[in-house]
Structure 1
């Protein structure tokens, strides 16, 4: 294969983003014919058509979609390298953090608290699915990912996983006069419950618990988002199964009470990174601060 021309790759990316030769040529300040010629050269180099015509526009072929993914990764890496090497003492640094969309917002804010408000730091916070976040990490669009789902690892895995905290899980609900008198089994058997959705590890552990106790729970609501579990608990929709850190402000204010600890059930929070030649120093700073040996809360 002929050597890949990064200039052609940059032009290809512009056309893929615009969807038309005319618009991309205008943006690039090139003639449409010159742009078309250079795209054909790239296609010849790669040995595949990258676009197919759809009406008045251009759509990526399967090969084109693969090429665009790689092009984005290449240019993000180049930007990352330039920004990292250009950093000087006192310069403003950017930390790009991704968090699982269902993760506790309180935990996320607590993790980055030491960087919030600093004049020398810009925080870029994104949320998404585990798959999207890990793709962003590999493409270097993210520096670190926070999740409670530990990615599978083997000898070929690129991920570095650091445990941040293992949170206890409790039954949390509105204050009751008989708060201290009832056992866990009594609460589970009589109260409406707000539960994580069945596909979560936390729900699987809870289902195993009630099965051992011979209890059929009365489910008021299910949610896959810790923020939604928190809102449902605040609305007194039932007793929520969640880590107390998720509702720490409500517990401190007395709006909610931790009625029972679910012994043996925990929620694990981890940070996922990649080994990089030029790591973002803010990542190490956060991980060093967040090295926790005992559960929070």
Structure 2
């Protein structure tokens, strides 16, 4: 097997981005013929055509799209290696955190609290879907992903899943709605309008299973896939919200909201997902150790 020439791979990436040999050659300060020759050499090495001509431009073949994905990962890894090894002796370090867009903000702050305010640390926060965040983690654009959804794993999966915390789930509402007298869970579900997580969440699936076991048909006042919106709807007295108390910790402490019942057997897990790396960000171990100690 011939060794992959990273110089050729870098030239290929430039052509793929520019879409023409002419523009890429100008940007790379090469002749068009020299660039074309080196692209053909890479194609011969890989055993596949990487481009096909359409009009005056070039478009990637299926093999070309695969090669570009791998090229981006290779050069991101090289950039990350350089940046990581240069961290030695630097005064300020960065931790790049991705968080599921629907994840509790209180939990995110709790995880990051050991780093907040430190003069030697810059925290970079990004939110998105699980798929987007895991792509960022795999592409080394993120150091850690905070989520409540465990990613699928098998023998070839690169993920390391760290369980940070597990919270009970309650039914939470305003003092006026909950009232003074304690009511049983079945009565609350049967009589009060409910604010529920979106149907595609693990928490909603567990709640639906609970109501089905007890033969209950709840009245759904609202659904949301964002914990912050569930919190706001509960504050607006739209109904009883099915959420972990950590999401509304401040409101519970202030008496703005109260917990009417705990949903036995339903718990929300909070996870940190990292990538197996030879040079992990040292800040990751630091925050994971402190999270485990709490």
Partner Cα separation in structure 2 for residue 126 and residue 203 of structure 1: 25
Q: Tell me whether 1:286 sits opposite 2:284 in the alignment.
A: no
Q: Tell me whether 1:133 sits opposite 2:149 in the alignment.
A: no
Q: Quote the residue 2:120 is aligned against.
A: 120
Partner Cα separation in structure 2 for residue 19 and residue 231 of structure 1: 48
Partner Cα separation in structure 2 for residue 102 and residue 292 of structure 1: 25
Secondary structure in 2 aligned to 1:219?
A: strand
Instruction: Say if 1:30 and 1:262 are closer, same or farther in 2 by CA, change over 3 A.
Output: same
Q: Tell me whether 1:263 sits opposite 2:246 in the alignment.
A: no
Q: Quote the residue 2:111 is aligned against.
A: 111
Q: Is the 8 A contact 1:13 1:68 kept in 2?
A: yes
Q: Quote the residue 2:41 is aligned against.
A: 41
Q: Is the 8 A contact 2:97 2:126 kept in 1?
A: yes
Q: Tell me whether 1:18 sits opposite 2:18 in the alignment.
A: yes
Q: Quote the residue 2:98 is aligned against.
A: 98
| Residue 104 of structure 1, CA deviation | 1.5
Q: Is the 8 A contact 1:180 1:259 kept in 2?
A: no
Partner Cα separation in structure 2 for residue 254 and residue 28 of structure 1: 64
Q: Quote the residue 2:242 is aligned against.
A: 241
Partner Cα separation in structure 1 for residue 116 and residue 273 of structure 2: 21
| Residue 143 of structure 1, CA deviation | 1.6
1:178-223: CA deviation from partner (whole Å, max 9, x where unpaired): 5231332222111111111222221121112212332100012222
Q: Is the 8 A contact 1:100 1:130 kept in 2?
A: yes
Partner Cα separation in structure 2 for residue 9 and residue 151 of structure 1: 31
What is the aligned residue count?
293
Q: Tell me whether 1:166 sits opposite 2:166 in the alignment.
A: yes
Partner Cα separation in structure 2 for residue 116 and residue 268 of structure 1: 23
Q: Quote the residue 1:66 is aligned against.
A: 66
Normalising by structure 2, we get a TM-score of: 0.90
| Residue 54 of structure 1, CA deviation | 4.3
Deviant stretches of 4+, over 4 Å: none
1:24-81: CA deviation from partner (whole Å, max 9, x where unpaired): 3343333444333322222222122222344554332211121111111111111121
Instruction: Say if 1:174 and 1:57 are closer, same or farther in 2 by CA, change over 3 A.
Output: farther
Q: Is the 8 A contact 2:178 2:258 kept in 1?
A: no
1:103-135: CA deviation from partner (whole Å, max 9, x where unpaired): 112211221122223232222222233233233
Secondary structure in 1 aligned to 2:95?
A: strand
Secondary structure in 2 aligned to 1:290?
A: helix
Partner Cα separation in structure 1 for residue 293 and residue 179 of structure 2: 31
Q: Tell me whether 1:86 sits opposite 2:86 in the alignment.
A: yes
Q: Quote the residue 2:157 is aligned against.
A: 157
Partner Cα separation in structure 2 for residue 246 and residue 36 of structure 1: 57
Structural RMSD (CA): 2.2
Q: 1:143-292 maps to which residues of 2 (within 5 A)? A: 143-176=143-176, 179-181=179-181, 182-291=183-292
Instruction: Say if 1:175 and 1:24 are closer, same or farther in 2 by CA, change over 3 A.
Output: farther
Instruction: Say if 1:132 and 1:48 are closer, same or farther in 2 by CA, change over 3 A.
Output: same
Structure 2: runs of 5 or more not aligned: none
Normalising by structure 1, we get a TM-score of: 0.89
1:256-276: CA deviation from partner (whole Å, max 9, x where unpaired): 222221122110011112232
